[in-house]
Structure 1
Amino acid sequence: MGYKVVVAGATGNVGREMLNILAEREFPVDEIVALASRRSLGTEVSFGDKTLKCQDIERFEFTGWDIALFAIGSEPTKKYAPIAAAAGCVVIDNSSLYRYDPDIPLVVPEVNPEAVEQYKKRNIIANPNCSTAQMVVALKPLHDRARIKRVVVSTYQSVSGAGKEGMDELWNQTKGIYVPGQEVAPKKFPKQIAFNVIPHIDVFLDDGSTKEEWKMVAETKKILDKAIKVTATCVRVPVFVGHSESINIEFEDFLDEHEARDILREAPGVMVIDKREAGGYITPVECVGDYATYISRIRQDSTIDNGINLWCVSDNLRKGAALNAVQIAETLGNRCLKKG
């Protein structure tokens, strides 16, 4: 027996990826429905070799459905997630709304799969921020070996993290630069994104950090270990899909770079591509469409006693969002909702 599955936000980038990944991984689905806002009613989306017509989330009855994958943003989630949860449907939410709620588990299955068992408090599970998800997958096996004290991370985040509008703006600005009179002014981003980098994602906070940077700090502590100190600088770059991160890690105990490489090679969800030669590393364009979190440039940091540097790349629409949500659903099914 399989599950009755809802995908809410099925017309967006992440929602479509959720449907693709459910099909690719042969998630045990008995019945599936695609939901969207009323303006997208009837829009067709693909699920494997099937075509689904989107239904109106406002009129949908969640009773009798097992799992709902939400990719609709915080405001609609605030309205519809409690309705679904009250109807007995477990919500796996991709927005930031519930990530910091102490009664709602924040889960990356390679890191803290046991946390899904806390879902019963509210019938909701939160999916972490895309930049956090890939980083903690890399940190977890190293933390288990040598205990991480501090992480300094700089991100290079693709425009798909800002949705279709972000991707369209990069595309149109790039074209406009080469066509006189067709320049495109910044709208989705605060400055030109084509051929540029912007050290600003989400709103600024009182301490000078941005909310995206704060998310990485708070979520790493909740998922991995509250004792880890994290400082982040998050940057938007002119890449369509794929987030990259330069991560500096300080451990309590010494960890040799060769042992770190071996540990990461054996870690779930991780693929190590690390040759000290031209092209012996992974870049964003090479990770698109893949499930793995790729690690390259593993090396000792000689400026501190117990330091390692590494480069981390992942498809943010997959591991950073849709794949992690589906993995949560798989973990939930295996641990808590077994059927048959």
Structure 2
Amino acid sequence: MKLIIQIPCYNEAEVLPTTLRNLPRQIEGVDCVEVLVIDDGSTDNTAEVARTAGADHIVRLKRHAGLAEAFKVGLDACLRLGADIIVNTDADEQYKPEDIPTLIAPILRGEAELVIGDRGVAAQPNFSPIKRRLQTWGSQVVSQAAGIPIPDATSGFRAMTREVALRTNVLSHYSYTLETLIQAGNHRFAIASVPVRTNPPRRPSRLMRGLWDYLLNSGVTIVRAYTMYRPLRVFTTIGLGLIALGLVPLVRFLIFYFQGRGSGNVQSLILGAVLLIVGFQTILIGLVADLINFNRKLLEEILYRERLQTNAHSTTEPRPAASSHDQRPPLRGV
């Protein structure tokens, strides 16, 4: 069984040697542990440092594409390199590498297919009080959207099986954490959370440019992902809400009408009719979106089968010697 630890990096030359040095290279239950570094268009010498520090595989993006794209490219590379389990962690060693065996343990026992490292966000000392509340609230929202309890939805410290990686499609350009959890929940994967430890932050977050930027991007990601997988429920809920609002002025008009004062309250009739029409149209949009959802599932199945065939070929081809530190499988966008 092969485990690949993937590390998306952007200008991490200063901290990367320590991170790579502390990664476990032998784990009970795993035959082979390898490290993949995804250089997300760094302007420093991140790739060279990674090679010198002992990374087994390095993928370099030609330009800075963002965390979500780097994560996606990393998954593709891990699959082509024959990974059975993939662990994603941060380059700045936010998560303690000693917890990787704990992270993959539920997968090795056959209890889970995707494991999320739970930082204990509600009591995380490295977070401000408002960030703790937002992280807790956001995890609850994602749990509802995914249909499973997830105490730390934004954690990037996670392990997944090859099957989960094959089924994962990252569409967001901001972050992969929320979208992929909703996706995994709707695919009915077995998902578990395990407590993990963290190190004090070495630098400010590069993903968050500010609180409102984080809230806006995270909110859009959650709404988009939930609507993609539950379109009928979303549009039906909105449509029924509009119909309920439309009934209020309509009932008001009828009351005045039967009292002989309907001519002075025509605006209630117009408003109620407009809301009812829009509500019914929204439900019809939900029906159309649900039909499109079936088409999306077919496309995902085709992509899944294509990945299976591609990765089956790549894992049977001869590989370079294990001592090489510059193995770069051909990938899109690199």
When normalised by structure 2's length, the TM-score is 0.27
- Structure with greater helix percent: 2
- Structure with greater strand percent: 1
